[in-house]
Amino acid sequence: MDSDGLRLTKIKARKTQIELRKQLALTGIQAAQGIVEFAKPILETCNLAAPTVSFYNAFGSELSLFLLAEQLQLLGVKLAMPVVVEKSAPLVFRHWSAGCEMAGDLYDISSPSEKNETLQPDIILLPLLGFDLAGGRLGYGGGFYDRTLEALRHASAIGVGFAGQEMKNVPMGLHDKRLGYILTENDFLAVKA
pLDDT for 123-138, tens place per residue? 999 999 999 999 999 9
8 A C-beta contact, residue 147 and residue 89: yes
What tens digit of pLDDT does each residue of 26-56 get? 999 999 999 999 999 999 999 898 899 999 9
Closest alpha carbon to 171 in 15, 51, 29: 15
- Indicate the domain borders of the chain: 3-190
| 166 DSSP β-pair partners | 131
From the list 128, 120, 121, 122, the residue with the least C-alpha distance to 182 is 128
User: What pLDDT was estimated at residue 192?
Assistant: 77
**Alpha carbon separation from 111 to 61, 66, 95, 182 (Å, rounded):** 17, 13, 10, 24
pTM of model > 0.85: yes
| Helix (H) / strand (E) containing 26 | none
CA angle centred on 108, ends 102 and 114, rounded to 5°: 40
Residues (pLDDT < 70) of the chain are 1, 193
Domain 3-190 has CATH 3.40.50.10420: yes
Instruction: Give the pLDDT of residue 3.
Output: 84
Amino acid 193: pLDDT: 63
CA dist list (Å): 34 to 61, 127, 183: 16, 16, 10
